[in-house]
């Protein structure tokens, strides 16, 4: 079965590249696929979303929508266009710990972490490389505070 995997702008897929050229030769209704993708990705407006389209022998299709990259989720939370060009020296946004927890929960199934604490620490690592602080602190400081148990109550609530 043919499989097409693309990144589309949430809620704004078009029959043009990359979808049209990839789907056209498969003999399926490209507009129908695009409409369904836009319906499924509407909540990710403005973010790049991974989409997988599987086409069977009868020209039926199945669409699976992945989670946007962690950087895209953080940019949306922070209301920024891009990360810092010099993350070590230039801090471009400050997020609340609850926002980090929200992103970690959204990405949880795609991460290597065994628990929510590890997932939050992975998201903090991305914050560090993007020049984003958390509650006015460096992401490294927040990771150390997590290791010291300072966020255990919040993390326990975040596991659900």
Picking from 24, 49, 65, the residue at the C-terminal end of a domain is 65
Same domain for 61 and 28:
yes
Say if CB 33 and CB 53 are below 8 A apart: yes
CATH number, residue 106: 1.10.10.250
pLDDT single digits (tens) 99-149 = 999 999 888 878 888 889 999 999 999 999 999 999 999 999 999 999 999
Same domain for 75 and 31:
no
Model-level pTM?
Answer: 0.72
Cis status of the peptide bond prior to 18, with omega within 30 of 0:
yes
> How many domains would you assign to the chain?
2
Give the DSSP letter string of 70-105.
HHHHHHHHHT-SS--SSTTT---EEE-HHHHHHHHH
Same domain for 94 and 59:
no
| Per-residue tokens: 34 | 């695009």
| Per-residue tokens: 145 | 């505070």
Same domain for 92 and 44:
no
């Amino acid at each position: 079965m043919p499989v097409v995997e693309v990144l589309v702008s949430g809620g704004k897929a078009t029959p043009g590249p990359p979808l049209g050229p990839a789907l056209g030769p498969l003999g399926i209704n490209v507009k129908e696929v695009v409409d369904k993708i836009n319906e499924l990705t509407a909540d990710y407006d403005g973010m790049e979303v991974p989409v997988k389209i599987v086409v069977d022998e009868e020209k039926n299709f199945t669409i699976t929508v992945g989670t946007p990259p962690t950087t895209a989720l953080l940019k949306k939370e922070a209301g920024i266009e891009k990360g810092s060009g010099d993350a070590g020296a230039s801090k471009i946004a400050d997020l609340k710990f609850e926002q980090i927890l929200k992103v970690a929960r959204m990405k949880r199934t795609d991460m290597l972490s065994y628990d929510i604490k590890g997932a939050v620490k992975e998201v903090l690592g991305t914050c560090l490389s993007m020049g984003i602080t958390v509650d006015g602190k460096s992401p490294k400081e927040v990771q150390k505070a997590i290791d010291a148990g300072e966020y255990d109550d919040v993390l326990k609530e975040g596991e659900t």
